Structure 1
Amino acid sequence: MEFSTERLTIRPFLSNDLHDVFNIYNNDDICKYLLHDTWTHENMQEEFNKKLENRTLTKEGMLSLAVVNDTNVVGDLSVWYTDMKDTVEIGYSFSKTASGKGYATEAVSGLVKKLFDEFDVHRIHANLDARNEASQKLCERIGMRKEAHFIQDFWNKGEWTDSIVYGMLFTDLK
């Protein structure tokens, strides 16, 4: 999958994207709400190789996409099918330098439209750490609705955390 929005190109990762992506995931503030730890120089190639391999959305495989502004990767989008028929989950991370410019809203909004239009999904959802207010606001800006707030349901990085689930159907698109 590859597409463009007004200011961005969304495409599969390329090998020369490594350092831009490392700059996203080598940041404790960005990774504190994610399931994985901050990338290090020792593990960055191994972690990045996983993104390079995720080039096609299938029932068995995740899709990872680079969000590119000019020539720099400013974000990472992920999509995978859940166990429920025609349902996908999305995830996203953006560099600190992209913060406040609307890139995340533009990219994720474009992604959900593509998923509904070209992959004929029935439902899209996002499962968030409840402390991640920026991610909650992003979900709401693109038309997702808050459907659940689970209390201390997820053990991550040595602590129990709350989870929030946002969801949307095609009819929820703004």
Structure 2
Amino acid sequence: MILTSARLTIRPFRLQDAQTLADYRSDPDVARYQGWSTPFTVDEATRLIAETPDPAAPGWYQYAIDLDGTVIGDVGVNTHENLMQADLGYTFATAHQGQGYATEAVGRVVRHLFTDRGLHRVSAECDARNERSAKLLTRLGFRQEGLRVQHTWIKGEWTDDLLFGLLAQDFR
């Protein structure tokens, strides 16, 4: 499965992407609001790539975000067992943040989920301190549906989670 947008190719990861994946996921600024610890090793990256299932099957699938042959981030889709809804996550290398790549890539994946796969709902959550992520979801048409106060214990502290959702009927 390969998706394209104006500037990006959204494709399956390849084993040769492992070093790049490990590099940007090892950046403390990138990992700050994420569930993994740094450093994110090449072995962990290789395992993530090797264990990625069929993108339409239940479970997490990580898409590589490719800009002119360089992986600059990833978008994860967790398809539910019912195959009608999914959760979304995304990560972008620091050098490629703030340039519209996340909006372009995540927007393209969301369009694929609704128009090609016929999903009913896509959900996402983020650390409440991650204002850029919350703004991205809002920009793409997601509605903030909730706030879970001190819900997640991560990296030695309790964090609040923002919950977002988008229904197919509300997709632009």
User: Is TM (by shorter chain) over 0.5?
Assistant: yes
| TM-score with structure 1 setting the length | 0.92
Tell me the distance in 2 between the aligned counterparts of 1:156 and 1:83. Answer: 27
Q: Which of 149, 152, 155 pairs up with 1:151?
A: 149
Tell me the distance in 1 between the aligned counterparts of 2:154 and 2:81. Answer: 22
| TM-score with structure 2 setting the length | 0.93
- Structure 1 equivalent of residue 44 of structure 2: 46
Per-residue deviation, 1:55: 4.1
Q: Mapping of 1:103-114 within 5 angstroms?
A: 103-114=101-112
C-alpha deviations, 1:40-70, integer Å up to 9, x for none? 4xx3223332133214134543211100000
Asked whether 1:66 is paired with 2:64, we answer: yes
Per-residue deviation, 1:22: 1.9
Letter in 1 for 2:122: I
Asked whether 1:161 is paired with 2:159, we answer: yes
Letter in 2 for 1:38: T
- Structure 2 equivalent of residue 13 of structure 1: 13
Q: Which of 96, 116, 129 pairs up with 1:118?
A: 116
Letter in 2 for 1:24: Y
Aligned pair in 2 of structure 1 residues 69, 4: CA closer, same or farther (>3 Å)? same
C-alpha deviations, 1:81-133, integer Å up to 9, x for none? 24676210000000011111100000000000000112211100101111111
Q: Which of 30, 54, 57 pairs up with 2:55?
A: 57
Letter in 2 for 1:96: T
Aligned residues: percent identity? 35
Asked whether 1:4 is paired with 2:16, we answer: no
- Structure 1 equivalent of residue 92 of structure 2: 94
Preserved CA contact (<8 Å) 1:12 1:55: no
Tell me the distance in 1 between the aligned counterparts of 2:21 and 2:53. Answer: 16
Aligned pairs, number: 172
Tell me the distance in 2 between the aligned counterparts of 1:28 and 1:110. Answer: 27
- Structure 2 equivalent of residue 141 of structure 1: 139
Moved more, 52-61 or 27-36: 52-61
Give RMSD over aligned pairs: 1.6
